[in-house]
């Protein structure tokens, strides 16, 4: 059974800093890994999807990588801004007919002005 862990649970950084959020998973037979952002009281917004055949994906200041052999994914945020403050969740999809993703519990990021 796939398990997804995100450490740390919370992170506070000053504005302008580059930072890395971590996501680890137990089953290396992962089909894809998706990163989400969640603002308080809102739904999840998809940020990046990395397929198993890919090593990384980029969108603006965000870069996500996937290393199946080590069971790790990272989300890199460059030049952080206060507007980046949110909870970031990762989720792994192991394929198959169940169509289910396994979610981590998220990292609460605070970027201080």
* Cis check: omega of the bond before 8, within 30 degrees of 0: yes
- How distant, in Å, are the alpha carbons of 12, 19, 108 from that of 87? 12, 14, 4
**DSSP reduced 3-state for 113:** coil
Minimum CB distance to other proteins smaller for 48 or for 80:
48
Binding mask 72-101 toward other proteins (x if CB under 8 A, else -) reads -----------------x-x-x-x--xxxx
Minimum CB distance to other proteins smaller for 42 or for 61:
42
Region 7-66 residues binding other proteins, contact defined as CB under 8 A = 31-32, 34, 36, 41-46, 49, 51
């Amino acid at each position: 059974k796939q398990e997804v862990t995100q450490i740390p649970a919370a992170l506070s950084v000053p504005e302008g800093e580059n930072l890395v959020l971590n996501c680890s998973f137990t089953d290396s037979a992962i089909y894809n890994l998706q990163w989400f952002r969640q603002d308080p009281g809102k739904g999840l917004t998809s940020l990046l999807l990395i397929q198993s055949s890919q090593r990384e994906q980029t969108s603006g200041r965000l870069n996500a990588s996937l290393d199946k052999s080590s069971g790790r994914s990272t989300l890199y945020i460059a030049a952080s801004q206060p507007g980046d403050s949110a909870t970031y969740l990762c989720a792994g999809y192991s394929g198959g007919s169940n169509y289910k993703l396994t979610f981590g519990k998220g990292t609460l990021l605070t970027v201080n002005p």
